[in-house]
Amino acid sequence: MVKYLNLLLSFFPRPLPLGKSDFYTWSDRIIDLSGEFADRDSMRFALASNLLHLGPQVAYKPDQYFIKSMKKAAANQVASYVFQEIKLNQQKAAEEAAAKQKLEDNLSLESTNVQEQQQKG
């Protein structure tokens, strides 16, 4: 019942935490509403970072703002990982293609050298 009430209230502006115990209560509520898709300390770190990036005149913010921000940050991390993975695969493929081309060039050069020696001999 409390979770449903918090879910409903998450759409309305609520005061930002002003103390350490208030921060932990606030962050636990947001983590519980968003689902724990990372360890709690990482999620608290992300929430603290979000708080630091709010403007100086912001004292109230809906919990949904932070829930969506954390989900977006998680999506960014996944996208960054996939991006890096693709870049590494492309680099590896380019290196393999360059090595194959070098081998083919060497074989072609050797073949040309053998033909020239046969013609001279």
- In whole angstroms, how far apart are CA 111 and each of 37, 100, 119? 60, 16, 12
Q: What is the rounded CA–CA span in Å between residue 11 and residue 22? A: 19
Q: What predicted TM-score, i.e. pTM, was given to this entire model?
A: 0.69
Structural domain contains residue 11: yes
Structural domain contains residue 108: no
Structural domain contains residue 22: yes
Residue 38 tokens read as 């990372």
Structural domain contains residue 13: yes
Q: What are φ and ψ of residue 15, in 5° steps? A: -65, 145
Kindly report the three-state secondary structure assignment for every residue of 34-89.
HCCCCCHHHHHHHHHHHHHCCCCCCCEEEHHHHHHHHHHHHHHHHHHHHHHHHHHH
Q: Which domain holds residue 36?
A: 2-87
Structural domain contains residue 31: yes
Q: Are 60 and 13 in contact (CB under 8 A)?
A: yes
Structural domain contains residue 120: no
Structural domain contains residue 83: yes
pLDDT in tens, the chain (121 residues): 888 888 888 899 999 999 999 999 999 999 999 988 888 999 999 999 999 999 999 999 999 999 999 999 889 989 999 999 999 999 999 999 998 888 887 777 677 776 777 777 6
- In whole angstroms, how far apart are CA 39 and each of 24, 42, 94, 113? 14, 5, 37, 64
Q: What is the rounded CA–CA span in Å between residue 118 and residue 121? A: 5
Structural domain contains residue 98: no
Domain count, the chain: 1
